Chain A
Amino acid sequence: AQTVTQSQPEMSVQEAETVTLSCTYDTSESDYYLFWYKQPPSRQMILVIRQEAYKQQNATENRFSVNFQKAAKSFSLKISDSQLGDAAMYFCAYRTGTASKLTFGTGTRLQVTL
């Protein structure tokens, strides 16, 4: 069974600084997708960034980028120039290439301080 592990229950970053959230996963599949979702207090999960396992290049979306280490099964999220609006729960998620359901980690709560 696939598992997703987020070992940092909470992280804190100062506004305008950079923070990295960690995620590891376990799978025997070769075709899969990885995601980072943001969940603010409104409870709505919002897609931040997506990475296809077959792509060697790390995905980037504006201030958000990932460090995808396929051999190590590691998928960390880097947030640059942190803003107060980035404060939320962040979930790492995995999906195989053939299935549609997502497997989520337990989340990391990110605080952004002035």
Chain B
Amino acid sequence: GAGVSQTPSNKVTEKGKYVELRCDPISGHTALYWYRQSLGQGPEFLIYFQGTGAADDSGLPNDRFFAVRPEGSVSTLKIQRTERGDSAVYLCASSRTSGRTGELFFGEGSRLTVL
């Protein structure tokens, strides 16, 4: 696609429910990142994929958060047993290579609200 696509744009769920957020990166981009942006804060790193594998998952806050990228393209961020503190905008970004020298292209994010 022309840009990074994230769905859903907005998601409202109840505490304790399971949520999946999808990211479709720019075609041909091997690197994919998830960030979480809480209200009034800058984005915080969650996880980085190079191809199908998670090269760095040090930002995942706990074991309720999990992400996959089975075919090296689309990625899904999965949140189990959601808590009100999980409410945030979840941003996805992709880059042509590892991102160290390449530009990151961000999507418009998925806003998650946990009631």
Contact = CB atoms under 8 A, between A and B. Distances in A.
Interface of A: 4, 33, 42-47, 50, 91, 93, 95, 97-107
Interface size class of B (residues with CB under 8 A): 20 to 34
Given A42-B108, A43-B109, A91-B42, A101 B91 contact: no
Interface stretch (B21-29, B63-71, B73-81, B98-106): B98-106
Contacts of B98: 100
Interface of B: 31, 33, 35, 40-45, 48, 55-56, 59, 89, 91, 93, 98-100, 103-104, 106-109, 111
B44 A44 contact: no
A104 B31 contact: no
Nearest to A91: B42
B91 A43 contact: yes
Contacts of A43: 89, 91, 108-109, 111
Main secondary structure of the interface of A (DSSP, over half): loop
B31 A106 contact: no
